[in-house]
Structure 1
């Protein structure tokens, strides 16, 4: 599985460079923990805005949730590719995926708020779609029903497989 995932990562990196020569992917390391926590907090901050906690309590809570999410991914998705998206060698997001025999699971794709809306997510998802089509696989993901990324997934032809409580489980195949 690791070799297949590496091929996915290599092809995704090529698609990013075509979109913007300053973009690249690299494997996440333990030294990236502070960025991963900051990215998680950036993507979830609005959800905590109405909560009447001090800002430090919100930041501590989000850091804890980020660490729990990372532990969950590592435990439940062995062999997954945990990649950072970089522009000019500075992390701006992450892409987590796991390639199996018949399915590629897009576990997580997240960009800093300032990076959203510039086409990076679409480039990555379209590149994944092209690869799974070549391999005769399905591309699946979980997404919250109110997540703005739902519009992107609809435009790219994903269909609802199942509502799983707080997440929609979506799939795409050629």
Structure 2
């Protein structure tokens, strides 16, 4: 995609801070990322729902405690929530904590365009973008395509980094 194509993808995309009223949407969004994994588990549906709620709440509490001052944003398209983008702009880096889109919005260039925006912001400040991703996550292909390189492996997670040109 050209830069013009990416800007076109972002037409109608806005961000806003998360609010308590977003909890149901954010839980549903989180659930969409675990659907395939839990389809293989022989738990009753109510147990899966309870598990996913507990996991979502734990993740949210961890992010908020570990990344003070981070931006917790809901991504909207045409006024409807379609994803979440969490970024922590630190003194030495921009940490892409989370980018998740609804399944219907995946594979359309929105994630690429949003990550490139984060990269442009970091480049203006001459800072790298860093993130964690599970080694089996399909998004790993996207990160590699955008120039992220693996710094280390931390259990299931790979720690990746992108550096703007000229930044060492």
State TM-score, norm by structure 2: 0.91
**Pair 1:86-2:76 in alignment:** yes
Instruction: Kindly report the root-mean-square deviation, in angstroms, between the aligned alpha carbons of the 2 structures.
Output: 1.4
Match of 2:33 in 1: 43
Match of 1:135 in 2: 125
Shift of 1:167: 0.3
Contact 1:17 1:23 in 2 (8 A): no
1:119 and 1:94 map into 2 onto residues whose CA distance is: 15
**Pair 1:66-2:66 in alignment:** no
Deviations 1:119-151 (A, max 9, x none): 111001111111211111010000000101000
Secondary structure of the residue that 2:136 maps to in structure 1?
coil
Which of the numbers 30, 43, 47 marks the counterpart of 1:57? 47
Contact 1:162 1:168 in 2 (8 A): yes
State TM-score, norm by structure 1: 0.88
Shift of 1:20: 3.6
Cα distance 1:167–1:75, how it changes in 2: closer, same or farther (>3 A)? same
Match of 2:3 in 1: none
**Pair 1:108-2:98 in alignment:** yes
Shift of 1:170: 0.2
Contact 2:10 2:113 in 1 (8 A): no
Q: Which consecutive unaligned segments of at least 5 residues does structure 1 have?
A: 1-15
Which of the numbers 152, 161, 167 marks the counterpart of 2:157? 167
Shift of 1:17: 6.6
Q: How many pairs were matched up? A: 160
Match of 1:19 in 2: 9
Question: In proportion to residue count, which structure has more helix?
Answer: 1
Contact 1:17 1:24 in 2 (8 A): no
